[in-house]
Structures are given as structure tokens and as C-alpha cells.
Structure 1
Amino acid sequence: MSLWKRQNLQHPQPDELAEEVPVALVYNGISHVVMMATPKDLAQFAVGFSLSEGIIENRGEIYGYGRRSGL
């Protein structure tokens, strides 16, 4: 990554880029949505999405979850 400053001088500077992966949320065997997300805290992400979309009313409605790679 390069940082541009005054007078169009380029200064290479290390920086971190966020990693994103496709995440599919499936409810009762039916795919509901696929979106890009960071691969960290996916369970919390799924709960938050499910609550905000009205799919569930509270966490107690979730009986389990699984995570699979490379599908």
C-alpha cells in the first residue's frame, strides 16, 4: 500500500487489510442469505442478523448452529 502526501510524493507504508469471506445463513435447511463478512465471531454475527431481520425473537429460539468451510 502506498501513502500519498503533498507534492504527489509516494511513500510505501505497510497496512493491514480486512479479510472477508462469503457467509451463508441457512435456517431449517433453507438458504436465507449469503453475504460477505469477516470470519471472526460468526456465531454472534448470525444471532445479530437473525434478531434484526425478525427471523427469531430471542436467542432461546436457536437450537444449534454449525460452521462449514469451502462450500
Structure 2
Amino acid sequence: MPAQLKVVETRCEKCACTKCQGPLATAPAPAQVSEQGIPLPGLLAYVLMAKFGYQLPLYHIEQVFTH
């Protein structure tokens, strides 16, 4: 089965009390592998295994995802 990419969209609800006009409350976001990035653990595992396990150059891995 060829590699597949899918977009996982995470939404955090924001809630405020309309009666008391209190502060805006936001639900906490789920933990990420990288604070500034968005890759999920499965994608990172695939890239690391392809790079170091199968010793593919990065441009070959890029070609897998563009086809």
C-alpha cells in the first residue's frame, strides 16, 4: 500500500459567558510532537525510517509524497 497523507484539523472551542461578560475560556489543545510544528508521530516515524532505516535521500522521500 503506498504512503498516504491526510490532513487532521484540530479545533479548540472558545466559550464566554454572555451574562457576566467574563473572560474568554479556551479548551486546551492536544499535545504535539513539536511545539511549533504540526507533523503527527506517524509521519515523523515514516520519514525517519525512510531516511535512516532504508537510507533514502530526502529528495526521494519528497518524490514519494508528490506522486
- What is the TM-score when the length of structure 2 is the normalising length? 0.29
* More relative contact order, 1 or 2 (CA 8 Å, 6+ apart): 2
Report the TM-score when normalising by structure 1: 0.28
